[in-house]
Structure 1
């Protein structure tokens, strides 16, 4: 059992396997399901990739103002890529807009960011992520067998450690970088939030989506506008609410669909009602 009335909601989800954890500044407050079960993360992979890129920035291997491909997306930088503001198309290496004109959610952009780090460090990006993020945080069930935009595999236990680090940093990233990560980049850009339609504005930080005033949304009605995180089409999500000083990890083995649109906000609001304040 979870030890949490909120997390008991997960037992009623229409999935075969699910794991969830509520995290506070001191670590896991409550958990439900197999915490070491490895789930495909889909786009939640982007959070781990962004953390690895930002470690590379702090190591001065790359810089957020680095141009990334002047032939393909002139004027676009690593910062644009992480913030989905480069103008790259979602799934093809094509320019849709000039940089910082529209929020175009781009898997290609995150993959290009990973290649930029790999080229600068002469280390395969999956190996770099392991050394820069997984090993320091002791993520024993986390791997990146493919694209840094969508192919990560991890566990609720590992992602709870990531959330704990974001709530109570121990040095993976500096305070300034962590603030930048969760701050809206290129404010005012409109765009489409996958699964939820057009949003104006469609706020994003560095690799992390920011809730802002988006509606509808996959977090709860009680989540603060400064909540940041990501969800994945494989049925995974992680949010950090810096106002409530709480985080929620929820992983399932059923692809995102109407079940998640109903279940995730309800779980989020129940968690905040039980644990916040």
Structure 2
């Protein structure tokens, strides 16, 4: 794919990008595939997947209490627990607003640690990273499940393939997390792209639907899902196109990303559809 070379024009020190099919076929790759980048909030889909493994293992239930009073694991995953963006402060009743919350994912990590009696970074490694062969991926620093992941494009391609053809989870569980809107009709702010009504999310994954403006461009399917991070990173899966795209950089998210990501995604999709 020639479209992945568009990252050469991005105003970033280092960038890597790749596109993968569900069967693991890499359609295109550009940049250092083995360079370890901070993921920022692209850590959250990995953390959510670990939580879903714990759910399927019977260690937790999605509707059991977790986080602030009245909230559940499902609320934490869907950013509707009522916790503030970056502090353990309740700002609304659970289920009433879509409040994107790092604190919510940190509460989720604490809950899984208590339920499994395994520190969350170890559980993530054992449940997700090792089975998928993601040897270059880890939680570092404060080891927050909200933002402290470090990974490579090569590793995230393995995760992107898993999201399209699950081996670790029942496909129905993955569909519940990635294609099903939880607390539909809930409005809120999509960081960097303003108020969205509705602001649809699954369980740890943002669902594109009809949001505008949006980082996934104008031609991605309403069923597209994924996540982006404040370190200038994103992971996108478009099930209708049958592919996933990963882009990692080392420049903080800003207007530059909102300018270059949408045409990049549109070009990738156009080239893939022309094959």
CA distance in 2, matches of 1:126, 1:251: 21
CA distance in 1, matches of 2:184, 2:273: 28
Cα offset, 1:151, TM superposition? 0.6
Match of 2:174 among 143, 161, 178: 178
Match of 1:30 among 7, 20, 28: 28
The aligned residue for residue 110 of structure 1 is 105
Matches within 5 A, 1:134-149: 134-145=129-140, 146-149=143-146
Cα offset, 1:16, TM superposition? 1.5
Q: Deviations over 1:143-196 (max 9, x none)?
A: 012100001000000001000111122x21101111111111110000000011
Cα offset, 1:26, TM superposition? 2.1
CA distance in 2, matches of 1:119, 1:74: 17
The aligned residue for residue 201 of structure 1 is 198
Match of 1:56 among 54, 77, 93: 54
The aligned residue for residue 272 of structure 2 is 275
Cα offset, 1:212, TM superposition? 1.1
Q: Is the 8 A contact 2:185 2:199 kept in 1?
A: yes
CA distance in 1, matches of 2:31, 2:19: 12
Structure 1: runs of 5+ lacking an equivalent: none
CA distance in 2, matches of 1:45, 1:25: 21
The aligned residue for residue 96 of structure 1 is 91
Matches within 5 A, 1:223-234: 223-234=220-231
Matches within 5 A, 1:124-273: 124-145=119-140, 146-169=143-166, 171-182=167-178, 183-273=180-270
CA distance in 2, matches of 1:276, 1:181: 26
Moved >2 Å (runs of 4+): none
CA distance in 2, matches of 1:76, 1:257: 32
Aligned-pair Cα RMSD in Å? 0.9
TM-score by length of 2: 0.96
Cα offset, 1:262, TM superposition? 1.0
Cα offset, 1:74, TM superposition? 2.1
SS at match of 1:273: helix
Q: Deviations over 1:105-162 (max 9, x none)?
A: 0100001011111001111000000000000000011001210000100000000100
CA distance in 2, matches of 1:204, 1:226: 11
Q: Deviations over 1:41-98 (max 9, x none)?
A: 00000010000011000110111011014xxx22210000000011111111111111
Cα offset, 1:276, TM superposition? 2.6
Equivalent pairs counted in the alignment come to: 270
Cα offset, 1:243, TM superposition? 0.8
SS at match of 2:138: coil
The aligned residue for residue 9 of structure 1 is 6
SS at match of 2:234: strand
